[in-house]
């Protein structure tokens, strides 16, 4: 693999698997115009989320990190018709923008934005949701807290349910081969926690900035 070939691979994946509808295709540029950061997943990861949510026959999904609603729309579309996505967001502007996008995408009836710090919201959800009742979790909020989030999320995931983690291998400012940044160390710690967990099967792969998928087997 060379840097050029990596770039060409990403372009190929985007061309072949990165189809989006007109609303999703414009969402990211509208979000940037509205002052949101350009840190959403891309259409290939979005399609993976759609596929995985569908594979779990998901009725309940949780996302940490709503941003402008891009990944949330893909996940909501993968849910069963009576399914629900609870997406956690600390930033009021991001939450407001995302709420509009969920309405425009026609999924607002199956998405609830929980505003506030995900640590607090996960504490609330622990009291509301039965243990092992969540079919899919997408972890995509503040990276340094990934291991803490994982410990809170673990009891919630159903047998057969999935954890999908973004930035499992890197981001624009760090990569997993250099553990000098707290985010890199947190991603590495979470990867290893999942890889060593006897109740989960896990693997990470270098799609975009690294995706880790883990499935509860018991």
User: Is 140 near ligand SAM (CB under 6 A)?
Assistant: yes
Total number of residues binding ligand SAM (CB under 6 A)?
A: 18
Q: What is the 3-state secondary structure (H, E, C) of the chain?
A: CCHHHHHHHHHHHHHHHCCCCHHHHHHHHHHHHCCCCCCCCCHHHHHHHHHHHHHCCCCEEEEECCCCCHHHHHHHHHCCCCCEEEEEECCHHHHHHHHHHHHHCCCHHHEEEEECCHHHHHHHHHHHCCCCCEEEEEECCCHHHHHHHHHHHHHHEEEEEEEEEECCCECCCCECCCCCCHHHHHHHHHHHHHHCCCCEEEEEECCCCCEEEEEECC
User: Is 65 near ligand SAM (CB under 6 A)?
Assistant: yes
Least Å from the CB of residue 198 to ligand SAM? 29
User: Is 41 near ligand SAM (CB under 6 A)?
Assistant: yes
Least Å from the CB of residue 2 to ligand SAM? 28
User: Is 141 near ligand SAM (CB under 6 A)?
Assistant: yes
Least Å from the CB of residue 116 to ligand SAM? 7
User: Is 163 near ligand SAM (CB under 6 A)?
Assistant: no
Residue selected from 86, 89, 102, 125 as contacting ligand SAM according to rule CB under 6 A: 89
User: Is 70 near ligand SAM (CB under 6 A)?
Assistant: yes
Least Å from the CB of residue 142 to ligand SAM? 4
User: Is 90 near ligand SAM (CB under 6 A)?
Assistant: yes
Residues that bind ligand SAM (CB under 6 A): 39-41, 65-67, 70-71, 88-91, 94, 117-118, 140-142
């Amino acid at each position: 693999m060379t840097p050029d070939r990596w770039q060409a691979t990403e372009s190929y994946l985007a061309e072949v698997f990165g189809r989006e509808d007109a609303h999703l295709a414009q969402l990211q540029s509208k979000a940037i115009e509205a002052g949101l950061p350009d840190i959403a997943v891309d259409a290939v990861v979005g399609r993976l989320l759609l596929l995985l949510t569908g594979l779990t026959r998901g009725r309940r999904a949780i996302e940490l990190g709503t941003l402008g609603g891009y990944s949330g729309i893909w996940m909501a579309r993968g849910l069963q018709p009576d399914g629900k996505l609870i997406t956690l967001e600390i930033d009021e502007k991001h939450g407001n923008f995302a709420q509009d996008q969920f309405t425009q995408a026609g999924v607002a009836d199956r998405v609830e934005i929980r505003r506030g710090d995900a640590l607090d919201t996960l504490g609330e959800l622990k009291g509301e949701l039965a243990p092992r009742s969540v079919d899919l979790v997408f972890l995509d909020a503040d990276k340094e807290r990934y291991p803490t989030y994982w410990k809170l999320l673990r009891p919630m995931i159903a047998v057969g349910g999935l954890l999908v983690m973004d930035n499992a291998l890197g981001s624009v400012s760090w990569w997993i081969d250099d553990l000098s940044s707290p985010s890199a160390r947190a991603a590495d710690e979470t990867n290893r926690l999942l890889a060593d967990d006897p109740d989960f099967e896990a693997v990470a792969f270098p799609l975009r900035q690294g995706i880790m998928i883990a499935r509860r087997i018991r």
